[in-house]
A and B are shown apart, each in its own frame.
Chain A
């Protein structure tokens, strides 16, 4: 036990300041009014859905929970069911084999809800594009509030996308 405690003391706190929101990432405006956002604050519950990514974006989404980004320190946490979530964080392109599962997951999130699309493929279909097995970008299947480009976008950019989605305008 003393080794474990010594390691914690040795490392200290490595959490860095959170990035600022960026309105340029917003796709749909006014889905949640300011009153809802005020009540929600940053007590946000997120459900992640991989709708067909290469798994690169998943690595960076896992990254936002590491001690440097510490997203839980902002009151934001990942939940195990869409029914407990305020926001879907979706990576893709949406494969046709995941289209139905993504729609059902979206329907299971209680209103009001937000969707943040992660990565070049989520934003545009990326290198996989559209085809017999791929629906392309997330917005082709469910409404997207904020889209974060990058292949994959680094953790700070993903946090910025999440924070943009819940930013109040006044």
Chain B
């Protein structure tokens, strides 16, 4: 294994098809998780397709690299070891044209995932001989949902256009009366070719695209991208720049948690909660606009550092805001906690047990609400979180109430971190220039965004361009968990349960 420099502890290891399975089995047995799985067309480099699996082990990230000889279109299936691999493998087949095959030779799920009808089944748009501008006449979109049969069972199809201001996706409920027997998700509606678009961009400019993979997590993605790029460059930003990035990331976390707490109150029948929390969120966004020049902090993290700085006046504004916010959040939490009607909706609703969460490889706040101790800020604690020492917020019950409580505690913890950052900000350059990056370099970024861990895998091409970039959203791991959390609940509780996870469609559709 070759260690890689940079912010995230990472190693890469070239494997053959046998050790691809062997290493994955050993890692799974040792408690490792699957972080991401993707493939690249390397025929121009004298091979076939290279499939990569990013394993999250105790020591850090281990990237297994399997180069398939030209003409080989199958690779060993990992979905029996890591169930979250299933959809990633289907996406790989849609985009690059290599299929995961289990030991007995039978292919895993053969249905498309990101491919609906926009391109033919024998075209693989991420291959390098397919131009970005290629357009095919729309085909027929047929998708074989798993049928549920029995006395009184019927189906409710929902989406892709939903009844609120949310993203598009399809949910197929099989119900008896109002109780859900099965939910099957179908995603991919927002697929717009982000990975292909990356390959037309320069390494430094492409951070803007990384910041638009999932707009609600723009800081997390931009930081993960910058971390991958800085790893390849062998550069570490100044302590000041890293602390400012953490400041932006925590403000992104607070803004999203405030928004979700409002909507969760609303979906639980307490419109007061939405009015109150959306006001607090708006205050925070306005401070962002005033201090950092953008309400959602897009394009503030840049390669080599940050595009912003804070002076004493801005520090005073944010410290005063933190005190005010903490007081208001504590008041509203007391109201939520005391509200019998709201707690009746929250408690025991949409339960995801620790066992199921671990089996599915769930990450982020949903994992912590089910009792799993996963938070990249705490472990491995990349800089500057090693000095900020955040407290991990967990709950055991895995229901909507647990996900609400984790949000409350994380918002308060982020305010603490914000104060710590503002009080200890050392002097230093906000940005350092990056040297020229060697062709073929590989780098990883690993950031705990508000929803969960965001990975970016980046490969350099000739002349400072992106050869391949794979941004990975925590929603890949967490969407399947929603299918489990809804089981046995009633259809009218679905919006509440869905909101309690609040997963990204854009981030997984790419």
Q: Which A positions have Cβ atoms within 8 angstroms of B?
A: 3-4, 7-8, 11, 14, 48-63, 65-68, 78, 80-82, 93, 95-101, 105, 127-134, 151-152, 154
Contacts and interface: CB of A to CB of B under 8 A. Distances in A.
Main secondary structure of the interface of B (DSSP, over half): loop
A63 B278 contact: yes
Given A55-B505, A128-B192, A131-B197, A67 B279 contact: yes
Given A3-B331, A50-B167, A62-B259, A129 B282 contact: no
Contact of A68 (B163, B196, B282, B339): B282
A24 to B, nearest CB: 22
A134 to B, nearest CB: 4
Interface in B65-95: none
A101 B133 contact: no
A57 B215 contact: yes
A2 to B, nearest CB: 10
B165 A62 contact: yes
Contacts of B135: 132
Interface stretch (B17-25, B206-214, B240-248, B312-320): B206-214
A55 B506 contact: yes
Contacts of B331: 3, 7
Nearest to A151: B298
B118 interface: yes
A3 B113 CA distance: 48
B504 interface: yes
B116 interface: yes
A154 B41 CA distance: 40
Interface in B18-70: none
A151 to B, nearest CB: 7
Interface in B461-490: none
B296 interface: yes
Contact of A133 (B118, B212, B332): B118
Nearest to A134: B192
B196 A131 contact: yes
Contact of A56 (B132, B133, B192, B215): B215
Nearest to B217: A55
Interface in B106-142: 116-119, 125, 130-136, 138, 141
A51 B281 CA distance: 25
B392 interface: no
